[in-house]
């Protein structure tokens, strides 16, 4: 019973981790574009 519980927990956390990693990747891309725009405004 405990093993089944851990398997469900692992699947749940893996799904959350994948979603968080994807959101973080999108955030990094947007911030990179934003900083490039800032550098362009400086010049």
- Write down the pLDDT at residue 43: 67
Three-state SS sequence of 1-43:
CHHHHHHHHHHHHHHHHHHHHHHHHHHHHHHHHHHHHHHHHHC
- Write down the pLDDT at residue 42: 76
- Write down the pLDDT at residue 29: 96
pLDDT digits (tens, 9 = 90+) for 1-35: 899 999 999 999 999 999 999 999 999 999 999 99
- Write down the pLDDT at residue 30: 96
List the one residue out of 24, 22, 21 whose CA is nearest residue 32. Answer: 24
pTM: 0.54
| Cα-Cα end-to-end distance for the chain | 63
């Amino acid at each position: 019973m405990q093993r089944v519980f851990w398997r469900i927990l692992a699947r749940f956390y893996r799904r959350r981790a994948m979603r968080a990693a994807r959101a973080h990747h999108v955030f990094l891309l947007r911030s990179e574009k934003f900083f490039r725009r800032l550098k362009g405004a400086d010049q």
